[in-house]
Amino acid sequence: MNPTEKEVLQAYDNVKNHVHQTPVLTSSLLSEISGASLFFKCENFQRMGAFKMRGATNALVSLSAAQKEKGVVTHSSGNFAQALSLAAKTIGIPAYIVMPSNAPSVKKAAVKTYGGQITECEPTLKAREAAAQKIQQEKQATFIHPSNAKDVILGNATSAYELLQKHPDLDIIVSPVGGGGLIAGTGLAAKYFGKNCDVWGAEPENADDAYRSLQSGSIETNAEADTVADGLRTTLGNINFPIIQETVKGIILVSEEAIIGALRLIWERLKIVVEPSSAVTLAAILKEKERFQGKKVGIIISGGNVDLDNLPF
């Protein structure tokens, strides 16, 4: 059964004292270009720089006292590794993080700064899962999945919940789609707290597994996912997919050129640092302008953790 309105409100209660209530920005020029009124919910200003802080925090707060004592484990090459480490440090519990050996050194450094205990492994999903399982058994730590866990999804829902508290009359919210944890949470928030508010996903053409999953009715995967939106290379899970099927209107696919163009526009016009995964939303709106024409549209800017030495423009 999909999570309830009461569970979303409980999640907000759980996280509100541990995360930033991020700002909502507007740009008259971007609204003019798109033909819609755009409201950007800026999770790039969140603690550790991404929405994932919300899901990680809710998952940890929801643990029993015995579970907290033993700590938590996850496998992640980036944002969730940082989010879980910082959330664990804030709440005062151990965090064991499995990271692939080829994860960016800047992300490994951030995890260490936040107090996460890193175990490196081969850069395959199989190796990551095996290493996490080993720690789980040895330390009796609780495994927290980055996107396919109910408490993580509920924590993620608090971003769109805040957006709708500020702008209750939004017609549409657009969310990026990667592992499915953010769009599932956004769908729940719109369902319970919006007024006929539709949710649309935005996804790179080069990593279109969620688009194909909604078409086929079962979870599809990508043989490869070569996209500048590196945060969106992961696939959906069995917990978030049913929520997406119920609460999301559809997914718009965008090209690499469109993502980079939208990224540049956001940097230029909003004067904020966002990662390519966040720019797929604006790219989707600009691609299908008729769909959004004259509407009030909320956009989830998922994060701002950018490798400044490797910008695509």
The set of residues, in sequence order, having a beta carbon less than 8 Å from that of 66 and lying 6+ positions away, is none
Alpha carbon distances (Å) from 149 to 42, 165, 249: 23, 25, 22
Which residue type does 156 have? N
3-state DSSP assignment of residue 208: coil
Q: In what order do the strands lie in the sheet with 95-100?
A: 117-121, 95-100, 72-75, 142-143
Alpha carbon distances (Å) from 257 to 160, 262, 284: 27, 9, 12
Give the catalytic positions in this structure: 52, 77
Q: What is the DSSP string of 234-292?
A: S---TTHHHHHHHH--EEEEE-HHHHHHHHHHHHHHH-----HHHHHHHHHHHHTHHHH
Helix (H) or strand (E) holding 25: strand 24-25
Pairing mode of beta strands 72-75, 95-100:
parallel
Q: Nearest-CA neighbor of 269 among 40, 67, 73?
A: 40
